[in-house]
Amino acid sequence: MNCSSGLSKENQKLAKTNVVAEEKLIADDLIVQAREATDEDLLVVHTRRYLNKLKWSFVVAAITEIPPVAFLPNFVVQRKVLKPLRTQTGGTIMAGKLAVDRGWAINVGGGFHHCSSDKGGGFCAYADITLAIKFLFERVQGVSRATIIDLDAHQGNGHERDFMDDPRVYIMDAYNRYIYPGDGFAKRAIKRKVELEWGTEDSEYLQKVHTHVEGALNEFKPDIVVYNAGTDILDGDPLGGLAISPQGIVKRDEVVFRAARSRGVPVLMVTSGGYQKRTARIIADSILNLHSLGLLGRDRPACALGSPSLQHTVTDSAKDFSNLSLQ
């Protein structure tokens, strides 16, 4: 993920949700509304010093790469810029619990993989991936090992810095080797590094994803997979520099879900970067494909998302979000 999009991140999130809902894949009352992450939640990972820095508009302008933000009063920045990001961060934390409970969860937002505990960048002000994993380790019984599969076009240097010396977390990262952030120090945390060339196309890309996802999950047995499913790999993306087709993105997501679900490992997916208007449609198509293949369900070959029983269980899991706090 990197910044500078014609659509705001919150509008992109709404677009993704609306497209999925319009397909009647998920009923309105089945879409769980994320809760905004509180300061206490954020302090599980972030330093107080870093959170205090976000009270300065010029700092937020640098992180979001939107210079005019520097001239706005900070109360406006908090409400219009940071609150939506905190809500998406809360959604990722919540989706982690849902994934463990039900086998999978997708946050149509989040994936702020350039932010670490004490530094933001690339539009990433909060370290939602790190937070979700730390919450699970601390508060959910039976979760003590996690694999991050980061397939955004950009290197996920934030979570890599956070988990640099943590043997409980295995990181696979596939990214365009020539673009932001080029963080050599953070690369030391990557257990399976896949550096891609400019203009990489479907055939080569999907072969590498399949080989390395299977290899990662064979090499390290996690209790959860956190999948950063950026769509900035799409051909024509102004920042990603790769040339993957919409069909290639749908197939990529299928490869990851099939590999994890065949091993009985829950999947938390976040949608991360993607800077074209057709991104929302592609994400919806991918979710529809996962559903049609029976990869969105638990203890059954296929999952009827509108069924009363599933609605009841997802709603119950959503209510458990308040119990994730480390207070």
Compute the CA torsion angle 220, 169, 242, 258 (nearest 10 deg).
Answer: 50
Note the pLDDT tens digit of each residue in 176-194: 999 999 999 999 999 999 9
User: Would you please indicate which residues are annotated as catalytic (active-site) residues?
Assistant: 114
Note the pLDDT tens digit of each residue in 245-259: 999 999 999 999 999
Is the pLDDT at 175 greater than 80? The verdict is yes
Q: How confident is the model at residue 31 (pLDDT cuts 50, 70, 90)?
A: confident
Higher pLDDT, 4 or 276: 276
Cα separation, 25 vs 115, in Å, equals: 32
Q: What single string gives the DSSP state of each residue in 75-125?
A: HHHIIIIIHHHHHHHHHHHHHHHHHHHHSEEEESS---TT-BTTB-BTTB-
Question: Checking DSSP bridges between strand 169-176 and strand 104-107, what pairing results, if any?
Answer: unpaired
pTM to 2 decimal places: 0.88
Is the pLDDT at 128 greater than 70? The verdict is yes
pLDDT of residue 304: 26
Is the pLDDT at 22 greater than 90? The verdict is no
pLDDT of residue 33: 87
The answer to whether 115 touches 121, Cβ cutoff 8 Å, is yes
Is the pLDDT at 100 greater than 80? The verdict is yes
Note the pLDDT tens digit of each residue in 48-82: 999 999 999 999 999 999 999 999 999 999 999 99
